[in-house]
Amino acid sequence: MKTYDAIVIGSGPGGYPAAIRLGQLKQKTLCIEKDQPGGVCLNWGCIPSKALISTAHLYEKASHSAVMGIKATVELDPNALQDWKEGIVKKLTSGVRSLIKGAGSELMAGTATITGPKTVEVTLADGSKETFEATKGIIIATGATTIEIPTFKFDGKQIIGAKEAVSLREIPKRLLVIGGGIIGLELGMVYQKFGSKLTVVEALPNILTGVDPDCAKVVERRILKLGGTIHTNARALGYERQADGSLLVKIELDGKEQTIPCDVVLVAVGMRPASKGLGLERVGVHIDARGFIPTDKAGRTNIPSIYAVGDVSGPPLLAHKAMKEGEVIADVVAGHKVEKDWVTIPGAIFTDPEIATAGLTEAEAVAKGYEVTVGKFPFAALGKAMAMNETEGFVKVIADKKTKQILGFHIVGPDASTMISEGALALEMAAFLDDVAMTIHPHPTLGEAMMEASAHALGAAIHIANR
């Protein structure tokens, strides 16, 4: 039996940073991956979808650039787009291999099963098996998998999940998305901009549940403006394949059944933790009712030598949360006295316009007993946004009315995903409204909206009327 200090199962956003950090800390480390390095994020999640999203944004902007003095005819080549996207994926997955190796850790292809508190059995491609020991700890970083609906089983062509949706080489004329959450709307809007007639079917009363309602409404209006249809409080019941190859989807809306013709159905109802088949029950690792592996602030499960990071350890299911956990838990395994102690985990939704959040929403703050003050600054009043011809949305800041300490930032608009880092830093540093409002922001930039929103909450905004 070959012995290591640590064994990492999975090389996604949680696993590969853990393996790299452990190598940097001179820990003998084995990282086991059953598929491709980089996990869901690099192979068919974060990165491929953002390549498509940026292309769709550029395509739409170029198609409507006459108002800015550019008259152009643009044509989409789906095959060239996919080739470009796949080149990015290959470059990044190769980079992960190199980074793990460069840090001094080993990457092994195979399927891992935990056979004891410190032992892992790996089944190789040829069916042979090897057993390894981890003297300091095993880190589970297996991520999550797409949820499939029994009445809409994936066929990889017309009934698809996110994995197939980022690899389409033909733009569907009519796309029906089941699920009005982040994945469904991000990818749905991509193909809507490419020319698909978009229909969204959401079982809950609103799309983007859990997001600041004002932010979600801006995205909803945008989808409708582009010609899309959104059905909320609706259930997808099943489908029939028509003689011409199209699909007829049956939904229940307001207690009545109706049918919607389409060509492709994207099922985007969420992700479930990939905790099955790891042998966890055999060694006594606790798994909760939803399939997540509960951990403490040091990433430990109920078995002290076994750790879990990323999606498999619980929400929020975000790559950047997994990355930071991987780094922190690697330090723990190496013997350092550290733990997860962040104030906030920012979120970014790459719809059009983008949505980004950090901290509490207004409703959450009130529910926690705060008396709040709210500042809001629209991009329509910002010179840089006008110059970009992207003026939809706003920056909203939530603060304690008495102390003026910032409780949350919520942005919907251009480059929201980049801007939210300032909000996350403000929360981590326990900043007050004055700290952001009095910080000189360069002009003209989108970031000025952070300053103006904070000043607005204080009644001191310059470029918008104060309450």
149 C-beta neighbours (distance < 10 Å), count:
15
Model confidence band, residue 336 (pLDDT cutoffs 50, 70, 90) = very high
Who contacts 244 (Cβ-Cβ below 8 Å, separation ≥6)?
A: none
Could you give the dihedral angle defined by the CA atoms of residues 97, 102, 104 and 108, in that order, rounded to the nearest 10 degrees? 10
**Phi–psi pair at 152, nearest 5 degrees:** -135, 60
Q: Please state the separation of Cα 456 from the chain's center in Å.
A: 30
DSSP string, 213-240: HHHHHHHHHHHHHTT-EEE-SEEEEEEE
pLDDT at residue 425, as a whole number:
98
Distance CA 23, CA 40 (A): 23
Mean pLDDT confidence for 150-170: 97
Mean pLDDT confidence for 67-95: 96
pLDDT tens, residue by residue, 348-382: 999 999 999 999 999 999 999 999 999 999 999 99
Mean pLDDT confidence for 87-105: 97
Assign 365 to helix, strand or coil: helix
pLDDT tens, residue by residue, 288-323: 999 999 999 999 999 999 999 999 999 999 999 999
Mean pLDDT confidence for 27-54: 97
Model confidence band, residue 467 (pLDDT cutoffs 50, 70, 90) = confident
Beta strands in 102-195 (DSSP E): 106-109, 111-116, 119-123, 129-140, 144-146, 159-160, 174-178
Mean pLDDT confidence for 116-137: 97
Mean pLDDT of the chain: 97
Distance CA 206, CA 220 (A): 9
pTM comes to 0.96
Mean pLDDT confidence for 321-331: 98
Q: Is the pLDDT of residue 391 over 90?
A: yes
Q: Is the pLDDT of residue 138 over 90?
A: yes
pLDDT at residue 134, as a whole number:
98
Q: Indicate which residues carry an active-site annotation.
A: 443
Single-letter residue type at 281: E
State percent of the chain over pLDDT 90.
99
Distance CA 314, CA 318 (A): 10
Distance CA 64, CA 303 (A): 58
The residues that bridge with 398 in the sheet, in sequence order, are 374, 408
Do 174 and 263 form a contact (C-beta atoms < 8 A)? Answer: yes
Which domains does the chain show, CATH number per domain?
A: 2-146+272-333 (3.50.50.60), 159-269 (3.50.50.60), 347-457 (3.30.390.30)
How many residues are present in the chain? 467
The residues that bridge with 467 in the sheet, in sequence order, are none
Mean pLDDT confidence for 436-463: 98
Distance CA 355, CA 221 (A): 14
